[in-house]
């Protein structure tokens, strides 16, 4: 090492949110590893407790605190690090670092920024500086010219070259903007734009240009490499995070590839990056013209993808370069012998596909555009483009089987759907081909390069040939093996083939028939290595994928049954994200520690579990039954772990079991008994455990009869969803009718499950590990919100703070009974309702749950390690520590990304909406609540608070909090009912008016004028008027970045916290200091 | 662009047989012609038009490790008035065949005029796809170099003999120009010894405003008036080019700048007394890292060679200029006192990275 550094501070990115997700756990973990192996003490600030980087043994000291200048400065003052890394925690860390630099904090405490200097960061972040900087070296950027008359507009357009975009300056929502292909069109549009605004921006239109990215690395000796380039499937205009991305580029010639590469290197040198950055280009599809879109002077989502796509550990290398190393000092971590100064050669193609969850939100705009909405992504590897994209379309896990043979989409206007892309754009293309559109027609409407479309068309053609076999009826098994081989090379699954062949009466059987046929004709996948050098040099690499374009396996299988396969968690989505990556990594670590070979199957490029360092073999491939079986047949493991990767592996358990796969831990049959609603209910009845009443119903009469019995409110879960969210609580007849009409089509084929919904009940979670039916370790935590808020959105306190001793006792007793009955060996989670001392079971999962990392880290007992040891058949002792010994409390709070989801109603309900979470520890409840709320982006309000607190019951629940606010000197503003209620209780407040009311002041106006510092808006029910008024307030608060709380109990907890504690009262204590 | 996938009906089998008897079966997409040659691989991910027309590939069956080929078609085969190709590296395809995993029958690029398959057919060069090129590459890597035959059609029972001997042919003589060609430029005159020169070497020199006198590989240029000598790349074994070595040796007596590329590096080294050996793992890629000796400067380079200069045999007057960062082999030499230097890699790129184009600047600055 070249620098004298003993302690380094690393900033994390906080909770997962849209645009900033798991990729930064991966980058940060790599950076910490790179620094730690130099013998440097590492300090990490990251409130995201579910991450791998905040686990024991990764950083030396961990602070679960907000990554904001205030807290980072306090940590710096306490820890006095020599250096700080800003590039590994996304935009959050970068922005925070820039503020600390500008405010002189870094200088004050003599903290050196390692890697890219802050000035270089500012040069890339500030649009004007950036353009000027690139102008200095004659590199073209996207410029717009501001003009104030039509003559100048014409001149500017001429200089920029048509087509141009005209925008009215200072106009929101794109008023007065549009494309012009020539001067006539410009005259018309410019006139209109000038009517909105005195100033008009003229910008070159790059509509339809290709989008290409390069990942570039530079050391302080000015040596540069481009590790990877990537090409977007979608043309410019769709955020790169929303686009399907292919690496390496497919449609660029050598001259184009190297022209952009050379530019990227010139740019990174001129800006002065030390470490890693990415350069994004717009590239003309009709010439070699280009524009630089932006440069990210930090590790990014793309760099995580590039690392996984190439096997080049960008974050690890960037951290080393920050310490002063040269690229020539470092080794290629795959070959271990060749230099890290090189550019990987791929002998495969990768395809990244985003995962959206827009269906979870009410009212959200589904169009894709320049802002990101996806919540996760997958990466698929193949030796043909078709193989990679079809794998990827299955991996996104939204019920699709590839490019063809999916459930038919209903697209009223294909032209429009092609032209205005939404989250289902790729399937619209499939639909269009089916409807007879040509490659050229689709190209005209989408501007997607013909090459990609031709490849997709080829998939469609093969599908047609397969379908033709069905026509031959009994002859269907006179199949041409060459056709099946071609289909497999093009990435068809056995499911797709079976369906195309018309074997979908019993599709499971059909798939097995196809599998059998393949085996008979030796149509089998082969395993290939990712070695960074395309086999030019020998490499001992464990980074693997499967392909049908090959005749030989790269690895030898010894068949000693000493390996354990862990199934990963797939794409991050709402409801399953970094917490299951943590679980998977802990399982891998334990397997290795116990002397077995660990094998991971997963395909999420944002994860640590897909880092080839984490296991003995990594199969970066699908988690479908077909692919998992392919791998198991080759690998012949001792057993498979299905309980640490969330629902995807859990769902495979039964089918793997049928194929006599050794499922470690709890048996597949038990898993089924817990998953199957009927079987589980029967079991609870048998052992005398209570649960909310429910029934599966297939007619309106039956539904009404059941509701008459149990009373409103009820929870309604349709099995077939037409639109909108999948579940809803209905509190009266009107809502029930409306929801069923709107969302579900009740019939024999599509029954709905209706459950009794218990109001004002506490929700309690039991996370536990059992060995042969006996509980070895458990954690009982309590939701702050009452039942009705999805457990993934709820704020969770651990240890439980306000449960009756009797409640806890009953929960323990029931959990014991269930563990015994299902003979659980491994992790499990049970959710309970508690009202008074009455306990009901809502749900039971025989796998690790979302809260496992949280309770493990608060309790400092690794639940997954225990569970894994049990699954390996090793003896475990009951830890002699439990939650009742803790002198501190942990709070897990949820992160929402509503600001990214235009038009979505930011309200919580029975369906999960949060994209991430934090977990903070405090000496008491209030401190932990305050830390965690600040960590998910809330601010302590300055003075004005707007209250609309819902139903009378909720109003009462909020009364104490309102009193506290008033006593603390806050100005309260309240809408009608709330105003009257507060006035009656002698709490001073000012009345404001709903959008639908006449009167001043208007709540919305106050929000827009930034007169409100916090909004508490509790929806009363789902009636139309209430929804509309409330929606407008909630949405405005979200769009204007004003903290919003929609739950009375959470609002009360937060208000109590900041009324009793000030921000300076928050202790700067590391995780290690809580003992 | 048509959407007819009629090729599927008329696909023709093709077989690659290696000299150890290993058989790889695929499908033909090029000329209908059986052929033999040395089987070599290249790990570049772009640049098949440049590589195929690179004279250094004469006599070789080129395996691309990047599995997708033909995506962007083939640019127009056009030449300027002096006969320099606009988009390619010579007048024609020099490789004997191309072997890939997945071929794109349909291509898409604004500058493309034909498909890779059509071009191969037109120039009488076979192409195979559907081969496990990774398995093939691993085999070639371990064997060093192998001879192979391509048989088009079902007739793959033909006997396995008749692979030819790559080492026996003087490929340099086959691909070198037959007479002196002068490309008028600036005042300074550079003699370019054509052992199979890539056109981008000529372009790179002309761009720097010099007059280029391109001479056949065995031409005695010492009789010419010139300001600098440039030794080109070329195919095959440097030991077959003794005539060139003799001529260079004479030039070494003088003080005029000399620069060499690839084969040129080896010929310069030989003329300076060093010896050449065959590498265990040849360098055939766009991602070869080299370091300038005695500095912290590193470059990513394009390479295509199986022979290397033995550093230990360099005379006392010479020293290594660049070293390969992966295996420590020689990547260039320089004379300790005179303006003679050379690179084993390809500063002219085409295809490949352009990091080392400064070699041309350095050379021209010395004139």
CA nearest to A85, candidates A55, A56, A57, A53 = A53
Scanning the structure block, which residue is given the tokens 């309590």?
A782
pLDDT-derived band at B7, boundaries 50, 70, 90: very low
Is B304 annotated as a binding-site member?
yes
Contact residues on chain B for A489, CB-CB shorter than 8 A: 102
pLDDT at A479: 82
Question: B86 and chain A: CB distance < 8 Å anywhere?
Answer: no
Name the average pLDDT for chain A: 92
CA nearest to A439, candidates B105, B273, B267, B53 = B105
Q: Chain A: nearest CA to B352, how far in angstroms? A: 7
What number of C-beta contacts closer than 8 Å exist between A and B? 183
Concatenated DSSP letters of A379-407: EEEESSHHHHHHHHHHHT-SS--SSSSPP
Q: In this structure, what DSSP letter does residue A1002 have? A: B
Convert chain B into a string of H (helix), E (strand) and C (coil). Answer: CCCCCHHHCCCEEEEEEECCCCEEEEEECCCCCCEEEEEEEECCCCCHHHHHCCHHHCCEEEEECCCEECCCCECCCCECCCCCECCCCCCCCCCCEEECCEECCCCCCCCCCECHHHHHHHCCCCEEECCCHHHHHHHHHHHCCEEEEEEECCCCCCCCCCCCCHHHCCHHHHHCCCCCEEECCCCCEEEEEECCCCHHHHHHHHCCCCEEEEEECCCCHHHCCCCEEEECCCCCCHHHCHHHHHHHHHHCCCCCCEEEECHHHHHHHHHCCCCEEEEEEEEEEEEEEEEECCCCCEEEEEEEEEEEECHHHCCCCEEEEEEECCCCCEEEEEECCCCEEEECCCCCCCCCCCCCCHHHHHHHHHC
Residues A449, A210: contact at Cβ < 8 Å? yes
Contact residues on chain A for B71, CB-CB shorter than 8 A: 250-251, 451
Q: Do A338 and B351 touch (CB under 8 A)?
A: no
CA nearest to B239, candidates B274, B213, B210 = B274
Q: Cα–chain-centroid distance for residue A952?
A: 37
pLDDT-derived band at B3, boundaries 50, 70, 90: very low
Tokens of B258: 């000399």
Pick the range with the lowest mean pLDDT from A191-200, A773-782, A890-899: A191-200
Contact residues on chain B for A552, CB-CB shorter than 8 A: 132, 134-135
| ipTM computed for the complex | 0.96
Torsion sign, CA atoms A796, A801, A803, A807 = positive
Is B228 annotated as a binding-site member?
no
Q: Is A957 exposed, middle or buried (0-12, 13-18, 19+ CB in 10 A)?
A: buried
Selecting from A328, A450, A461 the residue whose C-beta is nearest the C-beta of B291 gives A328
Q: Do A337 and B326 touch (CB under 8 A)?
A: yes
Q: Chain B: nearest CA to A876, how far in angstroms? A: 46
pLDDT-derived band at A900, boundaries 50, 70, 90: confident
Question: Distance (Å, rounded) from C-alpha A38 to C-alpha A92?
Answer: 26
Question: Distance (Å, rounded) from C-alpha A796 to C-alpha A802?
Answer: 12
Q: In this structure, what DSSP letter does residue A12 have? A: -
* Distance (Å) of CA A738 to CA A704, A735, A792, A1031: 14, 5, 26, 18
Longest dimension (CA), chain B: 65
The stretch B20-38 carries a mean pLDDT of: 95
Concatenated DSSP letters of A30-57: HHHHHHHTTT-EEEEE---TTSSTTSTT
Contact residues on chain A for B351, CB-CB shorter than 8 A: 254, 258
pLDDT-derived band at A880, boundaries 50, 70, 90: confident
Query: Which chain A residue's Cα is nearest to B69?
Result: A250
CA nearest to A798, candidates A923, A926, A891, A922 = A891
Q: Between residues 87 and 146 of chain B, which touch chain A (CB distance below 8 Å)?
A: 87, 101-102, 104, 106-111, 132-135, 137-138, 141
Q: Chain B: nearest CA to A336, how far in angstroms? A: 10
Question: Distance (Å, rounded) from C-alpha B145 to C-alpha B236?
Answer: 12
CA nearest to A787, candidates A732, A892, A713, A852 = A713
Residues A692, A840: contact at Cβ < 8 Å? yes
Per-residue pLDDT tens digits for A337-358:
889 999 999 999 999 999 999 8
Query: Which chain B residue's Cα is nearest to A344?
Result: B287
Contact residues on chain A for B350, CB-CB shorter than 8 A: 254-255
Per-residue pLDDT tens digits for B138-162:
999 998 879 999 999 876 555 545 6
Q: Chain B: nearest CA to A1, how far in angstroms? A: 15
Active-site amino acid positions of B: 262, 346, 348
Q: Do B300 and A349 touch (CB under 8 A)?
A: no
Per-residue pLDDT tens digits for A302-322:
999 999 999 999 999 999 999
Is B56 annotated as a binding-site member?
yes
Query: Which chain A residue's Cα is nearest to B356?
Result: A262
Q: Cα–chain-centroid distance for residue B215?
A: 18
- Sequence-ordered list of residues with C-beta below 8 angstroms from that of A597, at least 6 positions apart, any chain: A562, A563, A564, A591, A616, A617
CA nearest to A587, candidates A859, A865, A877 = A865
Pairing of strands B276-292, B318-324: antiparallel
pTM comes to 0.95
Selecting from B5, B45, B355 the residue whose C-beta is nearest the C-beta of A248 gives B45
Residues A785, A1047: contact at Cβ < 8 Å? yes
Contact residues on chain B for A536, CB-CB shorter than 8 A: 41, 43, 65, 137, 141, 281, 283-285
CA nearest to B51, candidates B308, B304, B307 = B304
Residues A555, A527: contact at Cβ < 8 Å? yes
Tokens of A31: 């950076």
pLDDT at A743: 64
- Sequence-ordered list of residues with C-beta below 8 angstroms from that of A566, at least 6 positions apart, any chain: A584, A587, A588, A591, A598, A599, A600, A601, A609, A615, A640, A641, A644, A645
pLDDT at B4: 43
Question: Which strands form B211-216's sheet, in the order they lie side by side?
Answer: B181-183, B211-216, B189-194, B228-231, B258-261, B340-343, B330-335, B318-324, B276-292, B298-309
pLDDT at B155: 63
* Distance (Å) of CA B96 to CA B25, B31, B52, B56: 18, 11, 9, 11
- The more confidently predicted of residues A227 and A179 is A227
Angle between helix A668-675 and helix A677-687 axes, rounded to 10 deg: 90
Is B263 annotated as a binding-site member?
yes
Per-residue pLDDT tens digits for A807-835:
999 999 999 999 999 999 999 999 999 99
Is the predicted pLDDT of residue A669 greater than 60, yes or no? yes
Tokens of B248: 């260079």
pLDDT at A746: 73
Per-residue pLDDT tens digits for A117-148:
999 999 998 888 999 999 999 999 988 888 98
pLDDT-derived band at A163, boundaries 50, 70, 90: confident
Name the average pLDDT for chain B: 93
Question: B298 and chain A: CB distance < 8 Å anywhere?
Answer: yes
Q: What does residue B340 show for φ and ψ, rounded to 5 degrees?
A: -115, 125
Is B5 annotated as a binding-site member?
no
Q: Chain B: nearest CA to A253, how far in angstroms? A: 6
Q: Between residues 247 and 286 of chain B, which touch chain A (CB distance below 8 Å)?
A: 281, 283-286
Is the predicted pLDDT of residue A744 greater than 80, yes or no? no
Contact residues on chain B for A346, CB-CB shorter than 8 A: 45, 66
Question: Distance (Å, rounded) from C-alpha B299 to C-alpha B302?
Answer: 10
Question: Distance (Å, rounded) from C-alpha A189 to C-alpha A42?
Answer: 57
**Alpha helical stretches, state H, A37-117:** 69-79, 90-102, 105-108
Q: Which H or E element spans position A201? A: strand A200-204
* Distance (Å) of CA A822 to CA A733, A770, A825, A826: 38, 10, 9, 11
Q: Chain A: nearest CA to B319, how far in angstroms? A: 21
Question: Distance (Å, rounded) from C-alpha B283 to C-alpha B307?
Answer: 9
pLDDT at A366: 87
Question: B296 and chain A: CB distance < 8 Å anywhere?
Answer: yes
Looking at chain A, how many residues does it have? 1075
Within 10 A of B208 (CB to CB), how many other CB atoms are there? 17
Coil, strand, or helix at residue A616? coil
Q: In this structure, what DSSP letter does residue A879 have? A: P
The stretch A872-879 carries a mean pLDDT of: 94
């Amino acid at each position: 090492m070249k620098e004298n550094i003993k302690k380094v501070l690393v900033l994390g990115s906080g909770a997962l949110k849209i645009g900033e997700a798991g990729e930064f756990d991966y980058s940060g973990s790599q950076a910490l590893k790179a620094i730690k192996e130099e013998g440097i003490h590492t300090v990490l600030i990251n409130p995201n407790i579910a991450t791998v980087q905040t686990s024991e043994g990764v950083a030396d000291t961990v602070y679960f605190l907000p990554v904001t200048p205030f807290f980072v400065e306090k940590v710096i003052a306490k820890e006095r690090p020599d250096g700080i890394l800003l590039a590994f925690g996304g935009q959050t860390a970068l922005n925070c670092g820039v503020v600390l630099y500008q405010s002189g904090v870094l200088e004050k405490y003599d903290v050196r920024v390692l890697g890219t200097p802050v000035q270089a960061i500012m040069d890339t972040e500030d649009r004007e500086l950036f353009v000027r900087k690139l102008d200095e070296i004659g590199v073209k950027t996207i410029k717009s010219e501001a003009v104030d008359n039509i003559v100048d507009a014409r001149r500017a357009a001429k200089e920029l070259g048509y087509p141009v975009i005209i925008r009215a300056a200072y106009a929101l929502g794109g008023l007065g903007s549009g494309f012009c292909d020539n001067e006539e069109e410009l005259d018309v549009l410019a006139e209109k734009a000038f009517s909105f605004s005195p100033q008009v921006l003229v910008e070159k239109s790059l509509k339809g240009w290709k989008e290409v990215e390069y990942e570039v690395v530079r050391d302080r000796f000015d040596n540069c490499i481009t590790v990877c380039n990537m090409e977007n499937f979608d043309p410019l205009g769709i955020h790169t995070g929303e686009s399907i991305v292919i690496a390496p580029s497919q449609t660029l010639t050598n001259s184009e590839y190297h022209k952009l590469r050379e530019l990227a290197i010139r740019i990174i040198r001129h800006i002065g990056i030390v470490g890693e950055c990415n350069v994004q280009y717009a590239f003309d599809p009709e010439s070699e013209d280009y524009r630089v879109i932006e440069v990210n002077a930090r590790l990014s989502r793309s760099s995580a993808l590039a690392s996984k796509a190439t096997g080049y550990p960008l974050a690890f290398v960037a951290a080393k370069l920050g310490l002063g190393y040269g690229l020539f000092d470092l080794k290629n971590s795959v070959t271990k012998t060749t230099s890290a100064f090189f550019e990987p050669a791929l002998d495969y193609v990768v395809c990244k596909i985003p995962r959206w969850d827009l269906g979870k939100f009410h009212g959200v705009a589904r169009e894709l555009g320049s802002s990101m909405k996806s919540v996760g992504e997958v990466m698929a590897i193949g030796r043909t483009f078709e193989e990679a994209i079809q794998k990827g379309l299955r991996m996104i896990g939204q019920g699709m089987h590839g490019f063809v043979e999916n459930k038919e989409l209903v697209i009223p206007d294909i032209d429009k759907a092609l032209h205005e892309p939404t989250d289902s754009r790729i399937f619209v293309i499939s639909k269009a081909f089916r409807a007879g559109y040509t490659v050229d027609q689709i190209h005209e409407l989408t501007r997607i390069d013909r090459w990609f479309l031709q490849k997709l068309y080829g998939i469609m053609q093969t599908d047609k040939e397969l379908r033709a076999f069905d026509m031959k009826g009994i002859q269907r098994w006179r199949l041409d093996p060459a056709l099946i081989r071609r289909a497999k090379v093009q990435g068809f699954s056995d499911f797709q083939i079976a369906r195309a062949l018309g074997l979908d009466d019993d599709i499971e059987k059909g798939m097995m028939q196809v599998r059998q046929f393949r085996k008979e004709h030796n149509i089998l996948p082969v395993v290939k290595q990712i070695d960074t050098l395309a086999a030019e040099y020998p490499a001992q690499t464990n980074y693997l994928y499967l392909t049908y374009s090959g005749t030989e396996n790269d690895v030898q299988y010894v068949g000693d049954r000493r390996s354990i396969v862990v199934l990963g968690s797939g794409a991050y989505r709402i409801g399953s994200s970094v917490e299951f990556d943590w679980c998977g990594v802990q399982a891998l670590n334990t397997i290795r520690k116990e002397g077995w070979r660990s094998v991971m199957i997963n395909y999420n490029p944002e994860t640590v579990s897909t880092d080839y360092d984490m296991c003995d073999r990594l199969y970066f491939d699908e988690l479908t039954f077909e692919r998992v079986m392919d791998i198991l047949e080759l690998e012949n493991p001792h057993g498979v772990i299905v309980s640490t990767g969330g629902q995807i592996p859990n769902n495979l358990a039964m089918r793997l079991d049928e194929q006599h796969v050794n499922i470690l831990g709890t048996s597949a049959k038990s898993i089924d008994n817990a998953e199957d609603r009927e079987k589980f209910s029967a079991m609870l009845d048998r052992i005398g455990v209570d649960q909310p009443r429910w029934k599966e119903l297939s007619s309106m009469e039956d539904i009404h009869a059941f509701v008459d019995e149990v009373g409103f409110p009820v929870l309604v879960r349709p099995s077939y969803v037409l639109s909108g969210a999948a579940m809803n609580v209905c509190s009266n007849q009107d809502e029930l009718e409306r929801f069923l009409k709107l969302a579900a089509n009740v019939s024999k084929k599509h029954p709905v499950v209706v459950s009794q919904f218990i109001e004002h009940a506490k929700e309690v979670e039991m996370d536990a590990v059992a060995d042969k039916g006996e509980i070895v370790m458990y954690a009982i935590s309590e939701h702050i919100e009452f039942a009705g808020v999805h457990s993934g959105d709820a704020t969770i306190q651990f240890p439980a703070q306000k449960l009756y001793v009797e409640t806890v006792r009953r929960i323990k007793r029931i959990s014991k009974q269930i563990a015994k009955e299902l003979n659980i060996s491994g992790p499990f989670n049970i959710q309970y309702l508690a009202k008074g001392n009455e306990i009901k079971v809502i749900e039971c999962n025989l796998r690790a749950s979302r809260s496992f990392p949280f309770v493990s880290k608060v309790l400092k007992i690794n639940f997954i390690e225990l569970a894994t040891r049990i699954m390996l058949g090793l003896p475990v002792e009951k830890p002699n520590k439990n939650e009742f010994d803790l002198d501190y409390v942990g709070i897990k709070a949820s992160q929402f990304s509503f600001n990214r989801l235009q038009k979505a109603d930011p309200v919580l309900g029975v369906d999960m909406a949060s994209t991430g979470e934090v977990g903070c520890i405090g000496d008491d409840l209030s401190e932990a609540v305050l830390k965690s709320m600040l960590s998910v982006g809330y601010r302590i309000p300055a003075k004005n608070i707007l209250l609309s607190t819902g139903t009378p019951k909720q109003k009462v629940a909020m009364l104490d909090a309102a009193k506290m606010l008033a006593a603390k000197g806050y100005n309260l503003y309240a809408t009608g009912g709330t105003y009257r209620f507060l006035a009656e209780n002698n709490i001073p407040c000012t009345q404001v008016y709903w959008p639908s009311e006449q009167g001043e002041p208007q709540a919305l106006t106050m929000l827009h004028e930034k007169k409100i510092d916090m909004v508490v808006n509790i929806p009363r029910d789902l009636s139309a008027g209430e929804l509309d008024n409330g929606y407008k307030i909630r949405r405005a608060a979200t769009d204007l970045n004003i903290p919003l709380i929609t739950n009375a109990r959470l609002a009360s907890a937060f208000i109590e916290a900041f009324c009793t504690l000030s921000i300076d009262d928050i202790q700067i204590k590391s995780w290690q200091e809580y003992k | 662009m048509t959407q007819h996938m009629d090729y599927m009906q008329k696909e023709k089998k093709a077989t690659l047989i290696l000299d150890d008897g290993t058989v790889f079966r695929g499908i033909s997409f090029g000329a209908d012609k059986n052929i033999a040659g040395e089987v070599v691989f290249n790990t570049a991910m772009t640049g098949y038009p440049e590589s195929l027309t690179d004279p250094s590939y004469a006599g070789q069956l080129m395996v691309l490790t990047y599995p997708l080929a033909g995506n962007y078609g083939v640019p127009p085969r056009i030449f300027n008035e002096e006969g320099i190709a606009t988009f390619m590296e010579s007048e024609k395809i020099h490789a004997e065949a191309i072997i890939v995993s997945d071929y794109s029958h349909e291509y898409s690029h604004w500058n493309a005029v034909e498909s890779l398959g059509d071009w191969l057919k037109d120039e009488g060069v076979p192409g195979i796809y559907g081969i496990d090129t990774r398995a093939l590459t691993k085999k070639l890597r371990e064997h060093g170099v192998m001879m192979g035959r391509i048989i088009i059609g079902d007739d793959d029972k033909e006997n396995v003999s008749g692979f030819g001997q790559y080492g026996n042919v003087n490929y340099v003589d086959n691909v070198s120009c037959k007479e002196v060609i002068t490309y008028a430029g600036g005042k300074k005159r550079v003699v370019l010894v054509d052992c199979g020169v890539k056109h981008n070497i000529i372009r790179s020199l002309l761009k720097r405003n010099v007059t280029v006198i391109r001479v056949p590989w065995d031409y005695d240029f010492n009789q010419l008036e010139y300001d600098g000598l440039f030794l080109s790349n070329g195919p095959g074994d440097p030991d077959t080019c003794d005539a060139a070595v003799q001529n260079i040796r004479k030039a070494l007596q003088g003080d005029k700048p000399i620069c060499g590329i690839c084969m040129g590096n080896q010929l310069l080294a030989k003329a300076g007394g060093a010896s050449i050996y065959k590498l265990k793992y040849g360098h055939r890629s766009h991602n070869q890292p080299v370091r300038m000796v005695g500095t912290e400067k590193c470059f990513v380079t394009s390479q295509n060679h199986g022979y290397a200069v033995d550093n230990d045999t360099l005379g006392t007057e010479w020293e290594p200029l660049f070293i390969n960062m992966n295996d420590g082999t020689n990547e260039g030499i320089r004379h300790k006192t005179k303006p003679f230097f050379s690179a084993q890699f390809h500063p002219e790129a085409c295809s490949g990275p352009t990091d080392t184009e400064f070699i041309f600047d350095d050379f021209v600055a010395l004139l």
